[in-house]
Structure 1
Amino acid sequence: MSNQAETLEFQAEARQLLQLVVHSIYSNKDVFLRELISNASDALDKLRLATLVDKDLVADTDDLHVAIEVDRDARTLTVRDNGIGMTRDEVVRLIGTIAKSGTAELLRQLRESADARASQDLIGQFGVGFYAAFMVADRVTLLTRKAGETGGTRWESTGEGTYSIESVDEAPQGTTVTLHLKPVDTEDNLHDYTAEWTVREIVKRYSDFIAWPIRMSVERPGADGEAATSEVQTLNSMKALWARPRDEVDAAEYNEFYKHVSHDWADPLEVVHMKGEGTFEYEALLFLPSHAPLDLFSPQGRRGVQLYVKRVFIMDDCEALVPTYLRFVKGVVDAHDLSLNISREILQQDRQIQIVRRRLVKKVLTTVKDLKANHPERYRTFWTEFGAVVKEGLIDDTDNRDSLLEILSVASTHDAAEPTDLAGYVSRMKDGQSDIWYATGDSRATIENSPHLEAFRAKGHEVLLLTDPVDEVWVERVGEYDGRPLRSIAKGQVDLDTDEEKQQAEAEREQQRQEFAALVEWLGTTLADSVREVRLSSRLTTSPACVVGDAHDLTPTLEKMYRAMGHDVPSAKRILEINPGHPLVTGLRKAHEHGDSTETLTETAELLYGLAVLAEGGELADPARFTRTLADRLARTL
C-alpha cells in the first residue's frame, strides 16, 4: 500500500540545467551509465562507513553490490544498489532542486558558451550526473529506502519540469533507478542500452575499477537443443587503480578514474601516482584538474581527496590530507595502518597522517615545478586556473614557501603578454637595484594607469603587477625573495636615481624644497583631516599628485579585507605627494603666494587630493562634494 503521490515542480535553476543537459550538452550519451554506477558506488561506500560509525544501525551489509537489469521487451534499464538509500526529504533536496552555490553563474556561462566541448567542461564542474539519465530515457523512476528505516520513497519524472513523489510502505534497502528508454536512434547517438554487449562494454570502459561488484544477469543459449539458462556475472575487475604499478595503468584508465572521483567531464591535467613504504605504508593517486570548479572560492567548497584504509572507504573530502591551498586536488589516499573508524578530529592530530600530508604536498608542488620547466602550456593552464589559490600557501605554509615561490607566475611591466617568475625578474634587475618592486590593484589596466608607476616607467624599472586579492597579503608575509626585499611602489619614499644622478639633481631638489615649503606646510594643515603628511614627490613625472603609505602601513585594499573578515582595523591616514613640475601644482603655489582667496585655494587643494585618490582607483569619502566642487570650478572657467 502506498500514500498518495504529490506532483512538484523542479526548482527553476534545476529545470533549466536539466534541459541543457538533455538537449544541448553531450555528444556521448553512454556516460549516463557511468554516472548512475558512480552514484551507486558512493551509496555503498556511505553505508559501509555508516555501519562503522554507528554500531546500532540496522542495515544489511552481507552482499553489497551494484546490479544492472535490462528488459528488452519493456525497454527498461535498471541500476540498483543496496547502499545507504535516501529519505523523502533527501530525494527532494538532491534531485528536485540544486542547492549548490554557483548555479546562476553556471547557467549564464552555459548559455554564453557556443563551444560544445566547453559546455561539457562547465557542466562537469557542477556534478549533476543523475540528470544525464534523461538523455536516453523518456521517463525515470527511482525507488529508495534509507538504511535503518522501514518506509521508502518513489520518485518519477519525464524531465519536463515536474516530478511526482510518494511514500511507500515496501521498498528494498538502497536505491533503484529504472530508465524507460527512448527508441534506438543512431543519428542521435542513442544505442540499444538493453543489449548485453552494449552494457558490458560501457561498464568495462568507464567503471572497471569500481571497488564493488557490478553484476548483471545474462542469458546463455542451451547446448544441443536445451533451454537457455540465466547466470549472474560480475562485469568489472574491481582492481584498485592506485594499488597497481603505474606502468600497468594507461591514460584512459586514469582519465576514467578521475572522472569517477571528481564527477568532472574533462580529463585531468596531470596524474600524481605515488607509494609510501617503510614504517607507514600508503598509496596515493592524485589528479590536477584542467579547470577550476565553480565552488573553488566558496566557504562551503569541498576538497577532493578521499581516504581509504586497506581498500575500505573511510571518508570523502579529507581535510587532514591536503592544505586548503591545494583544495582543488582530486584523488584517493589508501593508508594501510589506520583504524577503520578513525575520526576527522583524530586525523588532524595523527602523526602518520601529517607525514603523508607533507609528502603529498611536496609531490604535488614538484609536479607543478616539472610542468613549469618541461610543459609550459600545461603549466600556464594550471596557473591560470589555480594560481590565485596556490598563492594562499605563501601566507601560512612556511615549510614549502621556497617551492611555492619557485612556481609562482605573475604579470609584470616587462611583457604585456607573458607573465614572469621571480627568478626572471631578478635576472633583469638594473645595476645597483636592490628591491623587487611590485604594485597591487584590481586589474592590470588600473595599475598601469596609476601615477605611482610613472617614475618606474620613465627609468625603465620593471614592476610586478599583482591583481589577486591574496596578493596584498602574501607579499607582506613573505617580505623578500633571494635576499631582495619585496617593495610596493605605493609605499615609502622612492628614489630611483643612480648615485651620479643624485649628485646632479640634489641642488635642484633643494631649491624645490625651499620654493614649495610654504605650500607644503599649508596643504598639510588644510588637508589634515584626510592626510597624515604632504611632501614633494620623486615618483611622479606627469600626474599632479598621488597618495602613498608609509613603508609599514596597510594598503586600503588590505584594510577592507580585514574589516570584511570582522577585524577592527583603524583607518590610517596616508601621505599626499605633489609633483613640483606639474602646472596645477606650480599654479597652486603661485596662487598661495599671491594670497588668493582661502575658499578658492581650499577648493583647489581638495580637488588635488581627490584626483590623487581617484587616480589610484581609490574611493572618495564624499563623492558628491567632490563632484559639486569640480562642477562649480569648471563652470567658472567658461
Structure 2
Amino acid sequence: ISKKYGEDTAWKWVSNGTDGYTIEETTKDAPGTDVIMTLKADTDDEKYSTYLEEYEIRNLVRKYSDYIRYPIKMEVTKTRPVEEPQAEGEEKKEPKYEEYQEMETLNSMVPIWQRAKKDVTEEEYDNFYREKFFDYTKPLKVIHFGVEGAVSFKALLYIPGKAPYDFYTKDFKRGLQLYSSGVMIMENCEDLLPEHFRFVRGVVDSQDLSLNISREMLQHNRQLTIIARNIEKKIKSELKNMLDNDRAKYEEFYAVFGRQLKYGTVADYGAHKETCQDLLLFYSHKQGKLITLKEYVDAMAEGQEKIYFAPGENRERLAKLPQVETLSKKGYDVLLFAEDVDEFIPQTLMTYMEKKFCNVATEDLGLKTEEEKKEAEEKAEEMKGLLTFVKEALGDQVKEVRLSADLGSHPACMVPDSGMSFEMEKYMKKANPEFAFPVGRILELNPEHEAVKALQKAMTEDPVKAKDYAQLLCYQAQLMAELPLEDPYAYTELVCKLMK
C-alpha cells in the first residue's frame, strides 16, 4: 500500500507471485509505503514459518541489506531485571525479569568500504574480514580503493594469509561479493576475478549496476567487464609493489599462492602471461634464493645467451646434475624447477626479455665453440667402437649412446631423445595413466672420466666385465635423472658382484 506525500488517494498493489497483479484505490493515513507479505503454510518439505523468527530475519538483513544507507528496524522482545525493594535484614530474593518491546536497527548502514581509508583502522579491516569470510588467519594484504569514471565503484579486497583447504580443488568457488548501492546482488561473482587471482576475497559495490540484474545478464554486462579489468590491474599493481618493496612478505604470499600464478601463466594457451610473468619466482642455483625472471636476466654472465633451467622433483638433487655443474663452472646460473607446473612456463613464454629458455636436461647447452664441436666429432669417431659396444650391451634399455662434454665430473647421464623431458613424462602419466608415448632414453658418456676410460679398457681385456660396467653406468645415470629402476635387485646384485 503506497501513498504519495501531499495526495489523499492511496494505492494497493496485490500479487500472488504467479498470475500477474491488481492495482486499486485504498486509504492510508500517512504517506509512504507498507509492504505486507503473507507466507505460505508450512509443508513437509518447506518450513516457511522460519522466516518469521527473529534470528532468521536478522540473518537475512545482515546478508543482503546490511549496508543499505537507511535504517532497517524491527520490534524485538527483550528482557530486563525488575528492581524490587528489599527490607533490611531480609534474605536476598531471586532476581525477576520482565519482557519488553523495543525498536532495534538491524543493519550497519555505513559499509566499511565506503569510508575513507584513513578513517579505517587495521583492526577494523581484520575484524570485517574475519566476520565476513569466516577466516581467523590475519589477511596478508588489504586492498581498499575506489574508481570514479564511466563506471564508478568501491572495492575492499583481501589477500588471505593461508589458502582455503579446498583451494586447489574443483569445489572451490572463486569470486567477489557484488553489491549495488549497498544491496548484495551476488555472493560469488566469478566474472570479477580472473582465474590467476582466484585467491583474492572481498566485496565490490557500484551504484551503476541495477538491483534486479540477473546472473545471465551480468555475464554480458559491459559495466561489470570494466570493473573486472580495473580490479585485475589493481591486484597486479599491489602484488608487484609488494614484490619490489616488501620481498619477505611477497615470498610469504608466494609460498601459499605462487602455484596459482604459475597455473595462470600457462592457462588458456598463455593468454594471461603478460600479467603473471613478472610476478613469478624461481629458485636460483647460483644465488641460493628465489628470484624473478628479470633478476635472472639482469644478472646473466657475460656471453650468456640463454635462460637455463633444470626440471625435477627436488632442488637438492637438481643442484647435483652434471649439466648444472658444468654451467656453474662457467659462471652461468640455472633455475631449479621443482614443481610439476614449472616446466610449462618456458613452453608458454618461449622467450623473456629476448632471451630463449634452455632445458639443461633436453637441449644443447650451446657452450661449444666451432673448434670444440669439431674436436667432439673426432672424439666420437675415435670412440665409435665403445659406443656401439655399450649400446649392444644395454639393448632396448636405451635408444642411443653418445659422448658429451657437458657432464663435468660425472661419468654418465641419461637424457630424453625428444623435447619432452622425463619430468614432463611423469606429469603426463600422472594426469593420464593410459599415456602411451614414453620418452626415449639416451645414455651420454663423459670420455674424460676415469670410469669411462676403465670401461674402454675392459672392453678389450674383459668384455664380460665391460658389459657389467656399462650396465652399472646406465643404472647410475637413471638414478641421477630420478628415473625408477625396473629391477632394483639386479642393480644391488651387480654392485656386489663388481665389489668381489
Give the TM-score range, shorter chain: 0.7 to 0.9
What is the alpha-carbon distance in structure 2 between the residues aligned to residue 352 and residue 559 of structure 1?
44
What are the Cα deviations for residues 220-263 of structure 1, in whole angstroms up to 9, with x where unaligned?
Answer: 999xx9x9964232265322222333333332222222223321
What is the alpha-carbon distance in structure 2 between the residues aligned to residue 170 and residue 350 of structure 1?
34
What are the Cα deviations for residues 105-161 of structure 1, in whole angstroms up to 9, with x where unaligned?
Answer: xxxxxxxxxxxxxxxxxxxxxxxxxxxxxxxxxxxxxxxxxx978258xxxxxxxxx
Give secondary structure in 1 for the equivalent of 2:463. Answer: coil
1:465 deviates by 1.3
When the two structures are superposed, what TM-score results if normalisation uses the length of structure 1? Answer: 0.62
Structure 1 equivalent of residue 425 of structure 2: 559
Structure 1 equivalent of residue 387 of structure 2: 520
Counterpart check, 1:405 vs 2:277: yes
1:423 deviates by 1.9
| Kept after mapping to 1: 8 A contact 2:114/2:154 | yes
What is the alpha-carbon distance in structure 2 between the residues aligned to residue 316 and residue 554 of structure 1?
43
Counterpart pick for 1:459 among 330, 349, 352:
330
Amino acid paired to 2:490: R
Structure 2 equivalent of residue 297 of structure 1: 168
| Kept after mapping to 1: 8 A contact 2:66/2:107 | yes
What is the alpha-carbon distance in structure 2 between the residues aligned to residue 270 and residue 633 of structure 1?
56
Structure 1 gaps, min length 5: 1-54, 65-146, 153-166, 179-205
What is the alpha-carbon distance in structure 2 between the residues aligned to residue 477 and residue 412 of structure 1?
20
Counterpart pick for 2:125 among 240, 254, 278:
254
Amino acid paired to 1:327: R
Structure 1 equivalent of residue 42 of structure 2: 150
What is the alpha-carbon distance in structure 1 between the residues aligned to residue 344 and residue 41 of structure 2?
51
Structure 2 equivalent of residue 376 of structure 1: 247
Give secondary structure in 2 for the equivalent of 1:285. Answer: strand
| Kept after mapping to 1: 8 A contact 2:178/2:185 | yes
1:455 deviates by 0.7
Give secondary structure in 1 for the equivalent of 2:50. Answer: coil
Which residues in structure 2 correspond to 1:404-553 (within 5 Å)? 404-416=276-288, 418-496=289-367, 503=371, 509-510=376-377, 512-527=379-394, 529-549=396-416, 553=419
Structure 2 CA distance for partners of 1:396 and 1:406, relative to 1, 3 Å: same
Counterpart pick for 1:570 among 407, 429, 437:
437
RMSD: 3.7
What are the Cα deviations for residues 161-185 of structure 1, in whole angstroms up to 9, with x where unaligned?
Answer: xxxxxx998953377779xxxxxxx
Structure 2 equivalent of residue 385 of structure 1: 256
Amino acid paired to 2:427: M
Give secondary structure in 2 for the equivalent of 1:619. Answer: coil
What is the alpha-carbon distance in structure 1 between the residues aligned to residue 178 and residue 209 of structure 2?
10
Amino acid paired to 1:538: A
Structure 2 CA distance for partners of 1:354 and 1:458, relative to 1, 3 Å: same
What is the alpha-carbon distance in structure 1 between the residues aligned to residue 41 and residue 489 of structure 2?
68
What is the alpha-carbon distance in structure 1 between the residues aligned to residue 234 and residue 41 of structure 2?
45
What is the alpha-carbon distance in structure 2 between the residues aligned to residue 530 and residue 328 of structure 1?
45
| Kept after mapping to 1: 8 A contact 2:362/2:420 | no
Structure 2 CA distance for partners of 1:511 and 1:325, relative to 1, 3 Å: same
1:367 deviates by 0.3
Structure 2 equivalent of residue 315 of structure 1: 186
What are the Cα deviations for residues 324-363 of structure 1, in whole angstroms up to 9, with x where unaligned?
Answer: 2211100012344445455555544444333322221111
1:539 deviates by 1.8
Structure 2 CA distance for partners of 1:577 and 1:426, relative to 1, 3 Å: same
Structure 2 gaps, min length 5: 1-16, 19-33, 57-61, 86-97
| Kept after mapping to 1: 8 A contact 2:153/2:206 | yes
Structure 1 equivalent of residue 90 of structure 2: none
What are the Cα deviations for residues 186-232 of structure 1, in whole angstroms up to 9, with x where unaligned?
Answer: xxxxxxxxxxxxxxxxxxxx99x94485866567999xx9x996423
Structure 2 equivalent of residue 634 of structure 1: 496
| Kept after mapping to 1: 8 A contact 2:327/2:334 | yes
| Kept after mapping to 2: 8 A contact 1:530/1:573 | no
Highest CA radius of gyration, 1 or 2?
2
What are the Cα deviations for residues 552-601 of structure 1, in whole angstroms up to 9, with x where unaligned?
Answer: 6122222333344448551121322111122322222222244613xx54
What is the alpha-carbon distance in structure 2 between the residues aligned to residue 332 and residue 577 of structure 1?
57
What are the Cα deviations for residues 277-308 of structure 1, in whole angstroms up to 9, with x where unaligned?
Answer: 33333332211112222222122122252222
| Kept after mapping to 1: 8 A contact 2:456/2:466 | no
Which residues in structure 2 correspond to 1:172-251 (within 5 Å)? 172-173=50-51, 210-211=66-67, 230-234=101-105, 237-251=108-122
Structure 1 equivalent of residue 457 of structure 2: 590
Structure 2 equivalent of residue 282 of structure 1: 153
What is the alpha-carbon distance in structure 2 between the residues aligned to residue 373 and residue 346 of structure 1?
39
| Kept after mapping to 2: 8 A contact 1:459/1:496 | no
What is the alpha-carbon distance in structure 2 between the residues aligned to residue 437 and residue 584 of structure 1?
28
What is the alpha-carbon distance in structure 1 between the residues aligned to residue 365 and residue 436 of structure 2?
27
What is the alpha-carbon distance in structure 2 between the residues aligned to residue 408 and residue 274 of structure 1?
25
Q: Between Structure 1 and Structure 2, how many residues are aligned?
A: 444
What is the alpha-carbon distance in structure 2 between the residues aligned to residue 403 and residue 328 of structure 1?
16
Structure 2 CA distance for partners of 1:63 and 1:521, relative to 1, 3 Å: farther
What is the alpha-carbon distance in structure 2 between the residues aligned to residue 169 and residue 413 of structure 1?
64
Which residues in structure 2 correspond to 1:31-110 (within 5 Å)? none
Structure 2 CA distance for partners of 1:62 and 1:601, relative to 1, 3 Å: farther
Structure 2 CA distance for partners of 1:506 and 1:324, relative to 1, 3 Å: closer
